Amino acid sequence: MEFAYCPQVDVLKDKQNTLFSTHIPYGLLPESVAKSGCKMVYIWRDPKDTFISMWTFQQKERPYLDLGSLNSLEECFDMFCRGFSGYVLI
């Protein structure tokens, strides 16, 4: 799996990382992850909780993310309700 902000990390080959968490929906995970044979715990959350978690993460990562003109909670919530998470259609 590739990471935009840390391309040298390969979570599938790094045996020291035994736990990996993501906000990526299961259906969007790379096929290599789904077929890796690893055990997965998939947690489905209330969309409101998902949005607040995403918002909190984006605020922490804001210096490293290009979020364009999205500045307010209301703008981000509107985009989330239309199916966008950052630049990704969810």
Q: N- to C-terminal Cα distance for the chain?
A: 19
Report the C-alpha gap between 28 and 30 in whole angstroms: 6
Catalytic residue among 10, 22, 23, 53: 23
Query: Do residues 48 and 24 make contact, with C-beta atoms less than 8 angstroms apart?
Result: no
Asked if 62 is an active-site residue, the reply is no
Residues forming the active site:
23
